[in-house]
Amino acid sequence: MTAITTYFKHVREEFAHIVWPSRETALAHTLVVILIALVIAAWVGALDYGLGAIVSGIVGG
């Protein structure tokens, strides 16, 4: 039981060392991640559409 207690004590000590971002930084980083995800999704969608059209043209469907 002491191993579990010691473990959680160390976890609590480590949480004290974390430097949390400000609200503005977290929001800015979140928006960047969402924007990058949307750009990649649009790119993959366009690529899928284009390759699908090419394959349909070859197969004749």
Q: Taking the chain (61 residues) in consecutive chunks of 10 residues, what is each chunk's mean pLDDT?
A: 91 93 97 98 98 93 65
**pLDDT, position 61:** 65
CB-CB contact of 29 with 21 (8 Å):
yes
C-alpha distances in Å from residue 5, one per residue of 2, 11, 17: 5, 10, 19
Q: Provide the 8-state DSSP code for 21.
A: P
Tokens of 17: 């060392």
For CA atoms 38, 43, 44, 48, the dihedral sign is: positive
